[in-house]
Amino acid sequence: MSEKKKVVIIGAGPIGIACALECKKRNWDYVVLDKGPLTNSLYNYPKNMTFFSTSEKLEIDDIPFISNNPKPSRDEALEYYRRVATSNKVNINLYEEVTSIKKENNQFCIVSDKTTYNSENLIIASGFYDIPNLLNVPGEALDKVTHYYKEAHAYAMQNVIVVGASNSSVDAALEIWRKGGHVTMVIRKDQIGERVKYWVRPDIINRIEEGSIKVFYNSEIIDIKEHEVTIKIPEGEIIIPNDFVVALTGYRPNFKFLEEAGVHLSNDDLKLPQYNPKTMETNVKGLYLAGVICGGMETHKWFIENSRVHAKLIANHLENSKFTA
């Protein structure tokens, strides 16, 4: 069995929902597919996370986002995007994973684990949060190691290493310490990341300077065992007791997925996908990118605030190309 659609959208995050709303306004036959829950990346954010952006900058399709504080929380964002999707009756199939994409005779054949779709146009808005950047060290597969942080309670009274110096690493280190965990940060560079939220960065620096949170700069983990971790520091190697490793070293888009769809990537470490910034169409006619995935490994370049316009750019291009429902 197969279904024919004019537009298939992969990814039910905020930008995927925005693309769906543009299709709905034009009465186009579309469907949104996502292998997880609605706004899967936001759902997997830490429970106490606060956005850097204010609520109005997270709005899509000019639908007001009212929050209790100037900077909304994860739960408020989940509520907002859920309400937008449900009240507008967006056609979304959740927990349906796309396994392959092929284009033949100007039609995309999109195969999922539930059915097959044929479509003239495809929008990939799948983000980057599903594939973590691994440490690639012995012991990384142990149960004590995680690349995602949800909440601090499980780490109370435990020896915890937090790897990284970004917003997520700093938030995790501070929360775990405040819940009674013994925190050590391992950072490859010589300082806390400069992009860390301006109201949080002084907090982590003060905790480090007073000795509440230990840190090893210019350092990296080289081996993980059940009850200890070996760290390479400038002076050599040291072994410290350890119960958990929270390795928040960033994430990457599914480049294999893009390449199998025919999208060209730059021949460097950034792996920038080829697309027209005025239309968001890739080198594959009819295949569009929207959201964070446009930045390749520059995952800090695109976010909800500045990529929500992608939905209108795509819809306008399709409309101006004499696209018919």
Domain edges within the chain: 2-131+251-320, 134-247
Q: What is the dihedral of CA 139, 144, 149, 151, to 10 degrees?
A: -170
Determine the residue type at 208: I
Given pLDDT bands bounded at 50, 70 and 90, which one contains residue 129?
confident
Q: Which fold has domain 134-247?
A: FAD/NAD(P)-binding domain (3.50.50)
Q: How far apart are CA 148 and CA 41, in angstroms?
A: 11
CB 38 within 8 A of CB 98: no
Q: Fold match between 2-131+251-320 and 134-247?
A: yes
277-325 tens-digit pLDDT: 999 999 999 999 999 999 999 888 898 999 999 999 999 999 988 554 4
32: alpha, beta or left, given left = phi > 0 and alpha = psi -120 to 50? beta
Q: What is the DSSP string of 266-310?
A: -SSTT-PBPB-TTT-BBSSTTEEE-SGGGGTT-TTT--HHHHTTH
pLDDT tens, position by position, 240-277: 999 999 999 988 888 988 998 999 999 999 999 999 99
How large a percentage of the chain has pLDDT more than 70? 99
Question: Using the 8-state DSSP alphabet, how is residue 73 labeled?
Answer: B
| pLDDT (0 to 100) of residue 322 | 57
Span 2-131+251-320 CATH architecture: 3-Layer(bba) Sandwich (3.50)
Residue with structure tokens 């639908």? 63
pTM: 0.89
